[in-house]
Structure 1
Amino acid sequence: MTTHNYEIGMTWTGNTGTGTSSRRAYSRDHEVTAAGPALILGSSDPAFCGDPTRWNPEQLYLASIAQCHMLWYLDLAARAGVIVTGYEDRPSGVMIEEVSGAGQFESVTLHPTMTITAESDPAVAAELHEQVGDYCFIARSIKTPIHHEVVVHVEQPAAVLE
C-alpha cells in the first residue's frame, strides 16, 4: 500500500471590519492555495451570502468528481484500446438543504461527451464509464450517488485519396 499526502492552504479574507459579529456582518470570501497551482478565489454559494464571481465548495466538489472520473476514464480507455480524441463534461448536482441549514448532495450526474476514433468500439467506450467508480479516488471516498449520461461520438474515417 502506498500513502499519498495532500496539503492546501485556506485563508479567510472576508473580515469586513467587525468579524463575525453577526451572520451578515462578514464576507464568505477566502483563498485556496497549494504549492504550485494558481490561487483559487472562493466564497459560498450566493444563496448563502456568497460572491457569485468566486468558486464555491459545491462547484469545487462537482469539479473534483468530474476531474477524477475523466482522468480514470482516459486511463481505462487507453488500456482497453479505445482511442479518445475529445472529452467534455458538464457535471450537475442536486443538494438538499434541511430546515436546520444542514444539507448534503442527493446526487451528482456526469454528462461526459467524448469523441473516439472510427476504429474504437462505441459500446466499450460507453461501458468504461461504469468501471471508473471502482478506481476513482474521489468517487470511492464519498457517499453521494454518481450517475452518468454518456454521449459517444465516433470520428468519420479519413477519406482515402486516390
Structure 2
Amino acid sequence: MAGQQHQYQVTVLWQGGGDTGTTGYRDYGREHELRAPGKASIAGSADPAFLGDKDRWNPEELLVGSLSACHKLWYLHLCAEAGVVVLAYEDHAEGEMDAALGRFTRVTLRPRITLDSDSSESRARELHDHAHKKCFIAASVNFEVGCQPDFIRQSASHG
C-alpha cells in the first residue's frame, strides 16, 4: 500500500435556501445529503446547537464515527494477523469540541471487545496501540484520540 494514492468523491447536496437563501443566519435550512456513487445517501444537518436537525447526522458525529470505524477496521485486521479472535466489537466513542476554539480537543474510543476464551487479553489490548498508529483518520487530525478498551470473554461456538 505504500506510495499508493487513494481518491474519495463525496457530493454534499444542499437545497435549503427556500425563497430567501442566506439573507440571515436563521433564514436557511441546515439539512443536506451526503452522496457517493453506488451508496445510500446520508441525511445530514448541523448540530442542533447551530440550528440543525437532531434527527440527522452532523459533521461532528461523522468525524467521531470515522475515527471509531477506522480504528475498528485496523484493530480487527491486526487481531486476525496475530491470532486474536474477536467475536464482537462495539464502540461508544465520544468527541469533545471547544466551540470557543472552533475545534475538537479530544476523541475517546471506548470499544467493548468480546474475545474467544483462547485469545490473549494482554495481546488484544496491545493491538489497540498498533491500530491507532495505523489509522489513517487518526493520523490526519490535530487532537488527541484516546482508546479505553474493555474486554469480555466468550467461548467460540464450533458448530
| TM-score scaled by length of structure 1 | 0.92
Note the alpha carbon deviations across 1:6-50, whole angstroms, 9 max, x for none: 101111121121000000000111111001210011100000010
Q: Match of 1:19?
A: 21
1:125 has 2:124 as partner: yes
Paired-residue identity, %: 42
Select the structure of larger CA radius of gyration: 1
Uncovered stretches (5+) of structure 1, i.e. residues with no partner: none
Q: Which residue matches 1:30?
A: 32
State TM-score, norm by structure 2. Answer: 0.94
Deviates more, 1:11-20 or 1:40-49: 11-20
The amino acid that maps onto 2:37 is A
Question: Which aligned segments of 4 or more residues in structure 1 are displaced greater than 3 angstroms?
Answer: none
SS of the counterpart of 2:53? coil
Q: Name the structure 2 match of 1:69.
A: 71
What is the letter of the counterpart of residue 31 of structure 2?
Answer: D
Partner of 1:138: 137
Q: Tell me if structure 2 keeps the 8 A contact 1:122–1:154.
A: no
Other structure's SS at 2:23 match: coil
Residue deviations 1:35-90 (CA, integer Å, cap 9, x gap)? 12100111000000101111000000011000000000000101111000100001
Whole-Å separation in 2 of the counterparts to 1:88 and 1:145 = 21
Which residues of structure 2 form unaligned runs of 5+? none
| SS of 2:71 mapped into structure 1 | helix
How far apart in 1 are the matches of 2:32 and 2:15?
A: 5
SS in 2 for 1:3: coil
Match of 1:46 in 2: 48
In 2, Cα distance between equivalents of 1:135 and 1:6: 19
Q: CA RMSD in A?
A: 1.2
Q: Would you say how many aligned residue pairs link Structure 1 and Structure 2?
A: 155
What's 1:10 paired with? 12
Deviation at 1:156, TM superposition (A): 4.0
Task: Identify the residue that residue 108 of structure 2 maps to in structure 1.
Answer: 109
* Larger deviation, residues 44-53 vs 12-21: 12-21
